[in-house]
Structure 1
Amino acid sequence: MWHSSECVAREDWCHNAALEHHAAPHSLNAMKLSLHDLVTGSHPDQSIEARSLAPIQTHTIKSETTRRRLSLALQGGGSFGAFTWGVLDRLLDEDDLALDAVSGASAGAVNAVLLASGLAEGGRSGARNRLDHFWKRASEAAPRAQSGTALAVATRVLSPYQFNPFNVNPLKRLLADEIDFDALRAKPSLRLLIGATRVRDGTLHVFREKDVTLDTVLASACLPVIHHAVTIDGEVYWDGGYSANPPLIPLVAASRSSEALIVQIMPTAGAEMPTSSSEIVKRMEQITFNSSLMRDMDALATMSKLSSAEVGASRLSRKLQKLRLYHIAAETEYPLLSQSSALNLDWEFLLKLREAGRVAADRWLSGEMPGRAN
């Protein structure tokens, strides 16, 4: 339906200082990164049990009299986004936790705008209600006899311009009914970053809160094998997960918080050696959907190390020196995720993911999860 995917890093990302990836369980080949591209989400010709992530710095979080600020990076992954729904639902219980900024791609973008819109119009309870209502309606709108196999076969033979000539997209009606985008732009409740992939060159474009529209979210959630591309101001966009799933480095640059929580919903673990066509496709998607997240986490770690030695540090470097990066992975909390379908919108399945997300967030808040200390 609207699960995200990723693409490998662009080779033309370069800067005066080349950043090599540090050794990590998910290490990639050494690569060069452009700080301009990574932070602004654009090309220079336009304004830009599973693995656990160790935080860039290990800190002990002390109780404060003021509300603690937290930014959120929400990955896309279709119906797996119900796990993020649960995480957000639990975080919204914490009165002393101020959500400063949120970024998202695809299903992560959907959850992000639901959160922002709900907070703006009804506070924490409004956000919880909006998330609840959307996911319930998404399940109700899904065909009861939906066949993922039939869809997979159709997309291998036909383009969406052939099997869906009228560009029918149930998500469009759901979002239009749930969210007043004019009100969201007029009075944003937090810093909002929605990622979409520019088709002509494959680069990330980040839409900020004042630019977020229904089309922006549809662009971020546009899988090109299922939906027609989305055109905004003359530019054509596909799913944001192809370039950043989710936009992480732009989030760090935009946020006023020194703490950022990544909610990863696409599995990293898969079949040891997939041999059937369906298994191969599923594993390819899992790798693709996570590649840019791994790249950006490695890049942040390297940038943080370099910033500590920088003389006359820039604003971003000062942020990186203080950054505490945390990570919740859905597959750790819901081990059956890698065998599940991101097209499954059955209500019982969504509720299981939601509960797993709530439990994961509760463990993170209590300090039981690696990377978080009280």
Structure 2
Amino acid sequence: MLAQSAVSTVQSITSATDLITSATDLNAEAARTIDIVLANDAHAAFVWGVLDRLLDEPNCSVSGVTASGFAAIQAAVFAYGLSVGGRSGARTALANFWRRVSHASMFDIDRTSLLRSMLEQSIELQTIRDENCPVKLRVVAVNARADAVKIFSDEQLSINVIVAAAAVPFLSPAIEIDGDLYWGDGDISQLPPAASIGACHRVVVSGKPSIFMARCPDRSFGATQCVTGCAPVHSIFDSHYRAGAPLLVRPWIDWGELTDIRDRGRQCAEDWLAADLSSTDERPAKDCRSQYT
């Protein structure tokens, strides 16, 4: 099975000590427990950088990832790597995936087949579906017939679902799932507010400075916290997203250019981590949000 090579790669670089340390970090009471939303317009290598920086932070744990567009593939790789190899495993899984992207882009083959092949080499689906997976993955795709957004999770997740989320409407063929056709570009603006579990923060990674979350109906102008305890929402966006957008349709993706965009994502995540997030819930907020770029 192709995924077995990815398992070996991740596990070979992760020592037993690192696995124990990572498990302790994930299960211990953390200063920041976050729920991540990866918007479809977020440049993928920028997303890589944000996730890579968050993995460096011992006092920051990720409870779930909701992803649309190409970011859905990265979210699956992130969840899989974290499950089998802890923080170091997730970091290595993401780097290995992007090496595959850079290499495979040299070949003139169907984009959908390319994405499917890279995904199958990078993850083992059942590991992500398992209830013991440290990150709950949700994938957003669009019904190509009804133009309705659907969120797939748990046993609904499949290779087809993740590839469909990454399929560009009208440029890539829609993917059949349970008798219906799906592709990407899902609008995540109407996702419900994140329930605050252990002072959870919701972090939206996007390509432009806007918040995609529906406003919490229970938070008023003067309220310090809403009745249902929704999570504060923060936005990390790439101010250079237009320059990076064409990368995945080029015949060659330069590794140096990819890592430059990754480093920009790391820096934006660094700015968010450096902020005093605990103060967000202490001051009146209309939209429960702050932005970092």
TM-score (norm 2): 0.74
The equivalent of 2:242 in structure 1 is 338
Unaligned runs of 5+ in 1: 1-64, 147-163, 269-292
C-alpha spacing 1:100/1:168, structure 2 compared with 1 (3 Å):
closer
SS of the counterpart of 1:120? Answer: helix
SS of the counterpart of 2:80? Answer: helix
Which residues of 2 match residues 13-28 of structure 1 at below 5 A?
A: none
Q: Distance in 1 between matches of 2:193 and 2:115?
A: 25
Q: Distance in 1 between matches of 2:66 and 2:99?
A: 23
Q: Distance in 1 between matches of 2:137 and 2:199?
A: 14
The equivalent of 1:262 in structure 2 is 204
Counterpart pick for 1:360 among 234, 247, 268: 268
**Cα RMSD for the two superposed structures:** 3.2
Say which structure, 1 or 2, has more relative contact order (CA 8 Å, 6+ apart). 1
- Asked whether the 8 Å contact 1:194–1:207 carries over to 2, the reply is yes
The equivalent of 2:290 in structure 1 is 371
The equivalent of 1:84 in structure 2 is 47
Work out the percentage of aligned pairs sharing the same amino acid.
Answer: 27
Report the structure number with the largest CA radius of gyration. 1
User: Structure 1, residues 100-157: CA drift from partner, whole Å, max 9, x if none?
Assistant: 111000122112111110111111111000000001110111137x8xxxxxxxxxxx
SS of the counterpart of 2:172? Answer: coil
Q: Distance in 2 between matches of 1:243 and 1:267?
A: 14
Letter in 2 for 1:171: L
Counterpart pick for 1:107 among 70, 93, 109: 70
Letter in 2 for 1:132: A
Letter in 1 for 2:119: L
The equivalent of 2:35 in structure 1 is 71
Verify: 1:125 aligned to 2:105, yes or no: no
| Alpha-carbon distance, 1:81 to partner | 0.7
Which residues of 2 match residues 50-199 of structure 1 at below 5 A?
A: 66-67=29-30, 68-77=32-41, 80-143=43-106, 169-186=113-130, 187-199=132-144
Letter in 2 for 1:120: S
C-alpha spacing 1:365/1:231, structure 2 compared with 1 (3 Å):
same
The equivalent of 2:24 in structure 1 is none
Q: Distance in 2 between matches of 1:199 and 1:191?
A: 25
Equivalent pairs counted in the alignment come to 248
Verify: 1:219 aligned to 2:160, yes or no: no
Counterpart pick for 1:304 among 207, 212, 219: 219
C-alpha spacing 1:195/1:255, structure 2 compared with 1 (3 Å):
farther
Q: Distance in 1 between matches of 2:133 and 2:59?
A: 20
Letter in 1 for 2:78: L
- Asked whether the 8 Å contact 2:193–2:216 carries over to 1, the reply is no
- Asked whether the 8 Å contact 1:191–1:254 carries over to 2, the reply is no
Letter in 2 for 1:73: V
Counterpart pick for 1:210 among 149, 155, 175: 155
The equivalent of 1:26 in structure 2 is none
TM-score (norm 1): 0.59
Q: Distance in 2 between matches of 1:213 and 1:346?
A: 30
